[in-house]
Structure 1
Amino acid sequence: MNRYKNEAALIFCTLIWGGTFSATKLSLVSISSCLFIGIRFAIATFVFVLYILLKNRKNPISYPDWKTNKSLYFLAFLLGFWMFMGFAFETVGLKYTTATKSGFLTGTLVVITPILQTLFLKRMPSSGNLLGVIVVMFGLFFLSAESVGEDHKLVISYHLGDVLTLGGAFFFSLYIIYVDKASKSCPLDILLLSQTLVTSVFAFLLAFILHWTEFEPLFIKMDSRVMPALFYNGLISSVGTTFLQTKYQKGISPTRAGLIFSLEPVFSAILAYFTLEERLDTTGLIGCSFVLTGVLLAELLGREKKF
């Protein structure tokens, strides 16, 4: 029963994340990408600080000593850093690609995660998960393909935004691996605060660096696009899903979590259809079907083996 509860929590997280692509895409015409990330996670950090203060006021908690638990705090910092890198690559890349394609390319983490899991955790994915990964790979192929010409030839095309988004998928895979590791040894409060605080601080620094290098000007226009996006991404997504993922993913293997997260591009495409009027062609719909089939196969078959 706990397994289904954990997986339901991650599916809900994935649905929320699917909506962030459209919300962020709409706001990026009024705010620079890394400044958006910085403010988004600053809001989340403020909420978590209040949560921890109120929690300790009612029932004081003693946290691990810094001097004797430096490795634990470093692990929490590293988790936040991988989160920052994932969002930085994904959000900057979103400026140069569609919300639908960004969601699907981020979904490649389902392919990357089992490889990193094998390297870092010495845990072999089950045959069911591997089969699911293969099917999802076919889905991502169709989702990244474009039909061109009178003969409707399928062509895979990647631009700057696509490459950056793939980089984000790699760092999100690292993040998933470290969530599995850190959540079993670090207190929940430390993990929640470290993730949002580290991401916010580094995002603000990167915003100034990109401005200084003239890659992306630093600007903000607090209009009807930015405010709702910051509310949705800062509170509902960053606070809600960070809490749920950190709390419930520890009961699920990284590969299995990655397969659940592969539903994110499906949700993002559906929401982008209604909010941005982005359309999927036949190949895109076929890709969605493969992704869903891959997740179902992984859910029905086997568990991981350690070696």
Structure 2
Amino acid sequence: MLVLANACWGLSFPATKALAMSQQALLSTNGSWFIASLCVVYRFAIAALILLLISAPSLARLRRLELEQGLGLGLFAGTGILLQVDGMAYTAASTSAFLTQCYCLLIPIWVAWRERRPPSARVFVSCAMVVAGVAVLAKVDWQNLRLGRGELETIAASIIFTGQILWLERPKYAGNEVKHFSAVMFAVMALVCLPVALATTEQRTDWIRAYSSASTIGLMGFLVVFCTFGGYLLMNRWQPHVTATQAGLIYCFEPIFASVFALFLPAWFSGWATIDYANEKL
């Protein structure tokens, strides 16, 4: 199920990039922070509202630990995805997906520090194989790879996502209802990015104009249904059944899916949204 979650997240890389390119033709601003933060606000506010409506009959039983878990996950995920989405405006989708996997190295380091013992040889070998394999399958061009704004923001996002994965692992949250803390998580993610969207707004009408075409509304719906409900609900439901280190390694399937989708989805999105977004090549 976590591999399926990776497939859902892999869809988000070309979809988010296509959405940002579509909005640049609609807006008076080219500010990537505004476009990125507004995307996160709308995407997760819509998801939170839908999930709250679905969970309405059981919300009276919402527990303090569910609020606490959702708050922590939302803070980590909201900050991380804001950096990741903004970074995608400055780097290729496959490169972004590859660099996001830095947490597969960071999690074992944290676990080793927490448990006061070095990672096992199996973990070392697994991490090395995963990084090498993902680099090949994500078609990373080492000659042209540079640490510019997009790459640095993506690495920072990965560090923050490490906290999200570790927070979800905490044993005291084992009995929490997934729909409850996920709704809180989505709401917090939207609230985390709201100040950034407000601070970078040049014209108030841009909040409406950014989603004034059929293609931008459709891409937002795509992100909510497949990449938010599909990805995050699967993660929140099934990750507690494995260790954080195992989860970090499993999540390295994400750039593989992103790279495969980037071979053909950009052309589809381009034809639909009337943008110039070329497919990536093998």
TM exceeds 0.5?
A: yes
Structure 2 residue aligned with 1:95: 89
Aligned residues: 255
The match for 1:191 is 181
Question: Is 1:34–2:24 an aligned residue pair?
Answer: no
Question: 1:129 maps to which residue?
Answer: 123
Residue 23 (structure 1) aligned to one of 11, 15, 21: 15
Partner of residue 49, structure 1: 52
Question: What's the offset of the Cα at 1:240?
Answer: 2.6
2:10 maps to amino acid? G
Question: What is the CA-CA distance between 1:222 and the residue it aligns to?
Answer: 2.5
How much does 1:120 deviate?
A: 4.8
Max radius of gyration: which structure?
1
2:104 is matched with 110
Q: Distance in 2 between matches of 1:112 and 1:166?
A: 11
Unaligned runs of 5+ in 1: 1-8, 148-153, 282-307
- The one of 144, 160, 177 equivalent to 1:171 is 160
CA distance in 1, matches of 2:118, 2:179: 30
SS of equivalent residue, structure 2 residue 279: coil
**3-state DSSP of counterpart to 1:90:** helix
1:11-37 Cα offsets, whole Å, 9 max, x none, are 000001001001000000244111011
CA distance in 1, matches of 2:127, 2:241: 20
Letter matched to residue 249 of structure 1: Q
CA RMSD for the aligned pairs? 2.7
Distance (whole Å) between structure 2 residues aligned to residue 230 and residue 26 of structure 1: 10
Cα distance, 1:155–1:195 mapped onto 2, change above 3 Å: same
Distance 1:279 1:207, change over 3 A: same
Asked if 1 retains the 8 angstrom alpha-carbon contact of 2:95 and 2:140, the reply is no
Change (3 A) 1:233 1:116: farther
For 2:279 and 2:173, locate their aligned partners in 1 and report how far apart those are by CA, in whole Å. 37
* Structure 1 residue identity aligned to 2:101: G
| Separation in structure 2 between the aligned mates of residue 139 and residue 86 of structure 1, nearest angstrom | 24
Cα distance in structure 2, aligned partners of 1:267 and 1:26:
17
Which residue of structure 1 lines up, in the alignment, with residue 249 of structure 2? 259
Which residue does the alignment assign to 1:146? Answer: 141
TM score, norm. by length of structure 2: 0.80
CA pair 141-252 structure 1, distance change in 2 beyond 3 A: same
Deviations 1:54-109 (A, max 9, x none): 4x2xxx86333x5xx6xx64343111100101101100101111112111111222
The code of the aligned residue for 1:35 comes to L
TM-score by length of 1: 0.74
Mapped to 2, the partners of 1:246 and 1:34 lie a distance apart of 23
